[in-house]
Structure 1
């Protein structure tokens, strides 16, 4: 038996991995990461790789940001974990400072671990508050793999697990590049949403608790709803006494060029779910709602216990994240750098016919790869080759979109312009070397 030590070869380590780790999705990248810093990953073979996915879209401050390391050290030296009814000082500060960034309507928060958990908490809030049980999601959405969240997840991973949660309904994703009902984006007048209202009114049994939506769909292919979509959706919910839940796992806390994506829509959700960007690499999520909803469900006995609710270590980190985003003005930097990156990608689009569409907000951008721009047929094989070539050249970039062929570009908010320029050079080389 080979013991674990720093001298194990890469082959030995991969033998351990292949023999003992359960695969949970895509294949593992066959290079081990020794350390990470800022916008870079460094393999155990000392190869530097620009990380255009911020880990799992979580490391928004960059890898191993000093503020995160300091917060972890501070918690490790004082208190790491408590009974869920016991609270450390950091959570009081985090609750206040997070809610200070939000509208007055969102003032009560529950801290959990993952986005799936915060979405489950949001669904339970909505059901208990309204008395309804139906949850409306969107095709192309991703909310997690726990039962309630998975039931409203339509981007992938639905086959083979038996029935979804009772009352799970879906409406078409507002994909303007591939309109689900064949309209033109310039003159659609939100036709997909109007169709969706009629459809939901017909198929619902009259017990809708909430609509759960990402302001920008990520796993579905970086789908940005058309102007006015969210306002009309808000009206739809109010007309039917349905709660509106925004899942801002990937759009919250600066990523799209504002503190929260809903600010750009002038629409305030009834419940807000935060996760990835809140922990900046550690498992921290939050479910935020109004005082009215909180008091109502508390009177009805709302319960959402987990082993690590309100944990001191992760909330200490969350506090550091919120403060860093504010003090370093990372939302406005994401807006500025996102425009710079978008323009650079449009320049590449002019050069390469296979780039069908470039879309997004701030530093959350999608690049759709097609066989040709007229047919818009997704070219997943080319995307796979491009992604592999980019990694060989020193750029980690993520594929999303289910049946589509889309890159999800989500670098750390702390990325520098020269790092973006280097990434664009790598992309250019990858396109040039994989052209047919």
Structure 2
């Protein structure tokens, strides 16, 4: 990316520009469609059908019915509506620290937001522990045993809700929780959770807004990391779907889709699935294939992950490095034993990296996890640049701490000139 002064930035965080900023094929497909026809969905057009067919082809059966919307928030909201129409239930199970969108219906099932805003939790919302093997209520290596143990926590939530006379409509979770701190779900977690939820009469919603369209590398979708037999009932996609153009979608089964139609309340979205948005989405999916971006995510993701793990051997501020494909988190801690979040240090590193024209951000409940979700065109040279500058920034922070000029947990940031003097 370049600013108005011609400065060149390395974008390590923009997962909206999925196939790269201003990808020529996406730009051409969208502009050509704008020059031909772009109207609301009262008018049928082939591009909608073609884009839907392409999207469905990337998903396992029986996911075959598409609803186009404008954003990930709209997609998740519609998924709740569909789930409640199908099950005739209202209660939703979500994960702690989850974020699913900015609509009122989604803020209610996003502890990441409503806890910070000190909003009361709704009675029909049930929160299960985030399956985080590093900082969660159960800790250990991400393996099947940990996955089953965390799944049992969801089963306990279901039993508690049923014991109160409530009925479950859906379980919703990101296939790799992002705002919770770039968490990779342990093996067998979704397999067991989906079984418990379905036994309770609910459906399973996979929020792929952050992780979808090949970001994991090997697969198109994050839930596929859990096994070929792990298939959600409803999948929500968005964000990277249009490479910056507003488009998102919900995909479900024919059986579940019929239940929404049976309510008698027509689903209609004026701009969801308009010709230009569908042209953008189709071009993105084609670019992922033509440019071999899933293969690139495997190669570069593995290279970057290994480089960051070597960096952790050098800097004790790094408590954990985790990820898959081009979805990576670096958790910073003050002490590796106590795992005290290094929140202030994480924010300082982000600011320092920006001065070096490298764009990063933080997430997690303590904002101490540096998240890396770059455009899928990210290459090994970009990875080397990122790691090199991160190495320098971590060294500066350590030097500042050793001179006792760094005050732990102080909310203000150190001035950049102070860091420069330390570096010299």
TM-based fold match above 0.5: yes
- How far the C-alpha of 1:235 sits from its partner, in A, is 1.3
Cα deviation, residue 302, structure 1 = 4.5
Q: What CA distance in whole angstroms lies between the structure 2 residues aligned with 1:115 and 1:271?
A: 13
| Contiguous gaps of at least 5 residues in structure 2 | 402-424
What is the match of residue 321 of structure 1? 284
Does the Cα contact within 8 Å between 1:94 and 1:319 map onto a contact in 2? yes
Other-structure match for 1:6: none
In 2 relative to 1, CA 81–163 (structure 1 residues): closer, same or farther, beyond 3 Å? farther
Residue range with higher mean Cα deviation, 294-303 or 41-50 = 294-303
3-state DSSP class of the match of 1:371?
strand
1:303 aligns with 2:266: yes
Deviation at 1:315, TM superposition (A): 1.0
Q: Does 1:237 align with 2:194?
A: no
Q: Conserved in 2, the CA contact under 8 Å of 1:183 and 1:191?
A: no
**CA distance in structure 1 between the partners assigned to 2:56 and 2:73 by the alignment:** 21
- 2:353/2:389 contact within 8 Å kept: yes
Describe how 1:55-134 pairs up with structure 2 within 5 A: 57-82=15-40, 84-134=41-91
- Match of 1:156, SS state, is helix
**1:369 is aligned to 2:326:** no
When residues 166 and 202 of structure 1 are mapped into structure 2, their CA distance, relative to the original with a 3 A threshold, is closer
1:216 and 1:264 mapped to 2: Cα distance? 10
Counterparts in 2 of 1:161 and 1:115: CA distance versus 1, 3 Å: farther
Instruction: Provide Cα deviations, 1:298-356, integer angstroms capped at 9, x if missing partner.
Output: 12225343332221111110010111112222122211211011011111111100000
Distance 1:132 1:292 in 2: 17
Q: Is the CA contact 2:158–2:197 (under 8 Å) kept in the aligned structure 1?
A: no
1:191 aligned onto 2:154: no
Q: 1:246 to 1:189 in 2, by over 3 A?
A: closer
User: In 2, are the aligned partners of 1:147 and 1:165 still within 8 Å (CA)?
Assistant: no
Change in 2 beyond 3 A, CA 1:428/1:181: closer
Q: CA RMSD in A?
A: 1.8
Q: 2:234 aligns with which of 254, 271, 275?
A: 271
Q: Distance in 1 between matches of 2:156 and 2:386?
A: 45
Separation in structure 2 between the aligned mates of residue 433 and residue 372 of structure 1, nearest angstrom: 18
How far apart are 1:402 and its partner, in Å? 2.2
What is the distance in 1 between the residues matched to 2:114 and 2:245? 24
Distance 1:171 1:104, change over 3 A: same
Question: Does the 8 Å contact 2:190/2:226 carry over to 1?
Answer: yes
Q: Deviations over 1:180-228 (max 9, x none)?
A: 1466766646323213312321134332110001110001101111111
Which of 248, 258, 272 aligns to 1:285? It is 248
Give the deviation of 1:64 after TM superposition: 0.5
Aligned counterpart, 1:27: none
Match of 1:207 in 2: 167
Q: Distance in 2 between matches of 1:121 and 1:264?
A: 25
Distance 1:73 1:184 in 2: 48
Kept after mapping to 2: 8 A contact 1:132/1:208: yes
Tell whether the 8 Å contact from 2:147 to 2:185 is kept in structure 1 after alignment.
no
Residue 391 in structure 1 maps to residue 354 in structure 2: yes
Whole-Å separation in 1 of the counterparts to 2:276 and 2:103 = 24
- 1:143/1:152 contact within 8 Å kept: yes
Judging changes above 3 Å, is the alpha-carbon distance between structure 1 residues 355 and 103 closer, same or farther for their aligned structure 2 residues? same
Q: 1:70 to 1:419 in 2, by over 3 A?
A: same
Residue 173 in structure 1 maps to residue 112 in structure 2: no
Q: Contact (CA 8 Å) 2:9, 2:359: kept in 1 or not?
A: yes
